Amino acid sequence: MDDIKKFEELLKLPSKYYLTTPIYYVNDKPHIGHSYTTVLGDVLSRYHREQGVPTFFLTGTDEHGQKVQQAAEKQGITPQEQSDTTVLRFQELWKRLDVSNDFFIRTTMPFHKKVVQEVLQELFDKGEIYKDEYKGHYCVPCERFFTDKDLGPEKLCPECNRPVTEITESNYFFRMSKYQDWLIDYIKTHPRFILPMFRANETLGFLSKPLSDLCISRPKSRLSWGIELPFDTDYVCYVWFDALINYISGVGYRQDDEKFNKWWPASCHLIGKDILTTHTVYWPTMLKAMGVEMPQTIFAHGWWLVGETKMSKSLGNVINPMDMIDKFGIDAFRYYLMAAMTPGQDASFTDESFVTRYNNDLANDLGNLLSRVLKMTVRNSNGVIPEHGEFGQEEHDLAAAMDNAIISMYAAVATMRLDDGIEQVINAVRAGNRYLEATAPWSLAKKGETEKLNTVLYCSAELLRIVSILLDPVMPEKMAEVRFALGFDRSERPKFDITELRAFHRINVLSGRKVNDIDSLFPRFIVDKEDLPAPAPKVEKEKKVKPEKTYGVITIDDFGQMQLLTAKVLAAEKVEGADKLLKLQLEVGATKRQIVSGIAQHYTPEEMVGRHVVIVANLKPANIRGIDSEGMLLCAKSGKDLKLIAIDGEMPSGSSVG
């Protein structure tokens, strides 16, 4: 297929659209990250609905597992109570944000639990799930086991870099490893399966190492909050195995075949980049084992950073969506989320960038254009949008700017570049403001050039009508207000029909409509520090996690290249002006040497004299702060802790170590 055909194929409207968000843990209230995914899902769903595509939009909450159990314990309530109260925070926020989900799934709903148990039983009966003893390292926050080889030398969780606990227990395993080759091939032959493309490469990188089987159970003795395994009541199901199934149980799997066949396979699972492996490795292999078709696309978006820092409760910089809505309104918040992030990449949130975008795009460009058009229509045409006259170059240029916005927005939906589509629409709005300046309708009125004046009034109103349709999924309430101002009914649902929209003046649905007076659409936000949502406390720039050091394999000969010797400290003193350094005089057998070592914060000179230490004797000599140093002392290090390597008993200095 050539590129144009591929692009046309991509832009063809699908026969149905089924979109999901991740289901959110109910261990804490929602933040800007959750809002982003849900609003993105909502906007994409609305675009499809407005294009006449049958659409199902699913979101919900992930209510089992350790995180929820621990949150409940902290509050002194049951996990069910924890879920029942926290779920309301999500539901209230989605309602406030005008989220148009078709269903809200909770994994504690009986029908979902039943489906999970049926799936478990079927896979167990087919031999896809088996019991085995397992020794591993468990990361509590990630709720995942890791093998020795998964962990680096510092034995930290490879996902979150936190310490892990070693556990041995009997558990049930899903034969995930047997699908490794199939999955690699599937990803390679389905270029739209994992998007953006670089995330597919990330998954393929993960799959380049042998894939283990997946531990899908947790003994109740350790974690009781979960769905019981139907074939062993001592265990509950691993939270991810339970949660992923929501994508099929939520549309009728094993309950309503007609419904399930109507919506499955999902058109798109929207996820954040941190849950890529669970969605692009666990989920496809689970589906394969169940004999269920693959979803069409798994799209991983980036993260919202606060400034340049990761958002986290411990840093106290979590952005609360409710505060943003209170201050700027629902649609302004939705607009910012969609306009300021390129899906797939990280984006930086700051109050300043919010206010700037709001004032520039919404107050100055869009709000201002609407209020000018309304005022001019009232003043010059008794508030009725007139018939237009002949189009001149200026009108053709305006129509071209509008056409670009329509096509861009249409393509943006199919290619997940909503930010790009929105930018083109705002560019068209700017073209509208420039058009008014260039044609100067106020002077046309004075000069009595009515036909041209009518054309200007019509064209600028038509531009606003089209903009209100293009941005309707992003700002449903405000765009309905724009259409109301232009004489339409507030409840009229717009249709995103690309052919009709591109007709511009050839299909005239405006002339003769009486404009309505409305409050300022987006009042300019005057920056008063007091007015901004409670500023996040200043946080130190998060320390970059050092990439884990990797160690290659060395031979005994390589090791033999290193001359390790014992040495006795004869004298020690601090190095002036360097609070970490000690200058040591050492006896190494029959010879003497001087070494400068960075141990001054752990050992005083007095403590050092008389000690026996181990040195790397053949290290290339160095000059440290103007002092010659021949070799290096060996120490053990952990975080900030440091201890010298000592010799167990008496050995003459100069003895070899190895």
* Residue numbers at the binding site for ligand MSP (CB under 6 A): 22-25, 33-34, 36-37, 62, 243-244, 271-272, 274-275, 303-304, 311
Please give the structure tokens belonging to residue 562: 């290193």
User: Which CB sits closer to ligand MSP, 235 or 299?
Assistant: 299
For residue 293, report the phi and psi dihedrals to the nearest 5 degrees.
Answer: -60, 155
User: Which CB sits closer to ligand MSP, 36 or 134?
Assistant: 36
User: Which CB sits closer to ligand MSP, 311 or 596?
Assistant: 311
User: What does each C-alpha distance from 563 to 216, 585, 616, 632 come to in angstroms?
Assistant: 49, 19, 6, 11
For residue 175, report the phi and psi dihedrals to the nearest 5 degrees.
Answer: -75, 65
For residues 516 and 521, give the distance between their C-alpha atoms in angstroms, rounded to a whole number. 13
**Residue of minimal CB distance from ligand MSP?**
272
Angle ∠(173,62,195) on CA atoms, nearest 5: 80
Bridge partners (DSSP) listed for residue 585: 571, 594
In whole angstroms, how close is the CB of 322 to ligand MSP at the nearest point?
16
Residue type (1 letter), 218: R
In whole angstroms, how close is the CB of 23 to ligand MSP at the nearest point?
5
For residues 224 and 91, give the distance between their C-alpha atoms in angstroms, rounded to a whole number. 26
User: Which CB sits closer to ligand MSP, 172 or 304?
Assistant: 304
User: Which CB sits closer to ligand MSP, 25 or 235?
Assistant: 25
In whole angstroms, how close is the CB of 436 to ligand MSP at the nearest point?
39
User: Which CB sits closer to ligand MSP, 108 or 468?
Assistant: 108
What sign has the CA pseudo-torsion 528, 532, 538, 539?
negative
User: Which CB sits closer to ligand MSP, 21 or 455?
Assistant: 21
For residues 58 and 55, give the distance between their C-alpha atoms in angstroms, rounded to a whole number. 10
User: Which CB sits closer to ligand MSP, 47 or 282?
Assistant: 282
User: Which CB sits closer to ligand MSP, 193 or 283?
Assistant: 283
User: Which CB sits closer to ligand MSP, 25 or 410?
Assistant: 25
Question: 103 near 23, Cβ under 8 Å?
Answer: no
User: Which CB sits closer to ligand MSP, 283 or 504?
Assistant: 283
In whole angstroms, how close is the CB of 34 to ligand MSP at the nearest point?
5
In whole angstroms, how close is the CB of 434 to ligand MSP at the nearest point?
36
Please give the structure tokens belonging to residue 557: 């000969």
In whole angstroms, how close is the CB of 27 to ligand MSP at the nearest point?
8
Half-sphere exposure of 162 (CA within 13 A, CB side): 10
In whole angstroms, how close is the CB of 303 to ligand MSP at the nearest point?
4
Angle ∠(468,470,471) on CA atoms, nearest 5: 65
Question: 65 near 29, Cβ under 8 Å?
Answer: no
- Cis status of the peptide bond prior to 196, with omega within 30 of 0: yes
In whole angstroms, how close is the CB of 243 to ligand MSP at the nearest point?
4
User: Which CB sits closer to ligand MSP, 138 or 304?
Assistant: 304
In whole angstroms, how close is the CB of 193 to ligand MSP at the nearest point?
17
Lookup result for tokens 């200026």 = 394
Q: Assign 3-class secondary structure to 335-347.
A: HHHHHHCCCCCCE
For residues 288 and 280, give the distance between their C-alpha atoms in angstroms, rounded to a whole number. 12
67's enclosing H/E stretch is helix 66-75
Q: How many CB atoms lie within 10 A of CB 288?
A: 18
In whole angstroms, how close is the CB of 297 to ligand MSP at the nearest point?
15
Q: How far apart are the first and last CA of the chain?
A: 63
**Nearest CA-CA partner of 445 in 434, 430, 455, 431:** 455
For residues 89 and 77, give the distance between their C-alpha atoms in angstroms, rounded to a whole number. 17
Assign 467 to helix, strand or coil: helix
In whole angstroms, how close is the CB of 80 to ligand MSP at the nearest point?
17
